[in-house]
Structure formats: C-alpha cells, structure tokens
Copies of this chain bind each other. A is one copy, B any other.
Amino acid sequence: MSEPFRDLLQLAVALAHSSVDAGGGPFGALITTADGSIVAEGQNIVTAACDPTAHAEVTAIRRACAVQESHRLDGLILVSSCEPCPMCLAAAWWARLDSVHFASTRFDAADAGFDDAQLWRAVASGDTGPQLPLRHVPVPTAGDEFRHWLEQAHRLPY
C-alpha cells in the first residue's frame, strides 16, 4: 500500500464525515487512477436523491463513468470509507475497476446501525427469503429476448 492511498482513504472518511453534515449517510468514496489522481468523488445521497442505489461507491462510479464517457473504468481504483455492500461490490465488478481499498469494515458499519449482514447472507445464498420473495415464472415468450440479441451481428458485449 503506497502512501497516497492512505491519504485517499482518509479523504474518503472525511467525505463520509461531511456527508453526515449534509444530511446524508456516513459514507464516502473516490475513484482514482493507479497513481492516486482523483477522477470522481461520491457520498451517500440515498435519501436526498430519492435513490436507494445512490450509495457513495455507486455515486462515485457513475460520476467517474460520466467523466470518462465510458461504462468501463479499467485501470481505476475504488477508495471507499467503508467496506462495500453487495450492491456496491457488484457495481465495482461491472465497472471493471482494478481494485477496492476501504477503511472501516462492515462490522464498524453494523455498530453504527447499518447492518448489512442479512443482505450479505441473502445474496450469498441467492435466496432473499420472506423479506424479498423471488418468483421464477417461465412465461411462453421468455428467451425471445436472448435469441434476438444473438441474432445481432454487431452486438456490443459488456
């Protein structure tokens, strides 16, 4: 771990701290280059933006993609005040980020009332249980969309 990333992690924690003052959740994140240049910042704006997906990491990823004008962030790094939840970890995966650095852990977050443990268990098992029942209904047209996709000669895989 090079020293710039320690500074960037402390900046992510400072963003989380100021997010609270702005009425948001106590989470902050940065997207940076491998040498520590900041591409985008994010704070948790779930309640202010009326967007349950607007965690700090997702917000930073979306802003970095806007800056890069790409849906991919290959070569870039996610620096987060806290260990990402399953949604944010999967978002970092889809963004093709190079790595994730975080300061506080999911256990620290749980101590502050953000208990993602049930969500981690649900996603790990692929079964969200009675809290979010999942129902597979194989309607007759299911599969048409994938056949149509595979017919496209110039489809853009991602």
Contacts and interface: CB of A to CB of B under 8 A. Distances in A.
Nearest to A21: B148
A93 B71 CA distance: 24
Interface string A110-147: 01110000011011111010011111111111111110
Nearest to A118: B93
Contacts of A139: 6, 9-10, 13, 103
Q: How large is the interface on A (under 10, 10 to 19, 20 to 34, 35 or more residues)?
A: 35 or more
A83 interface: yes
A91 B52 contact: yes
A46 B109 CA distance: 30
A70 interface: yes
Number of copies: 2
B131 A93 contact: yes
Nearest to A17: B145
A17 B149 CA distance: 8
A139 B6 CA distance: 7
Given A141-B14, A142-B104, A146-B104, A53 B91 contact: yes
A10 B141 contact: yes
A102 B145 contact: no
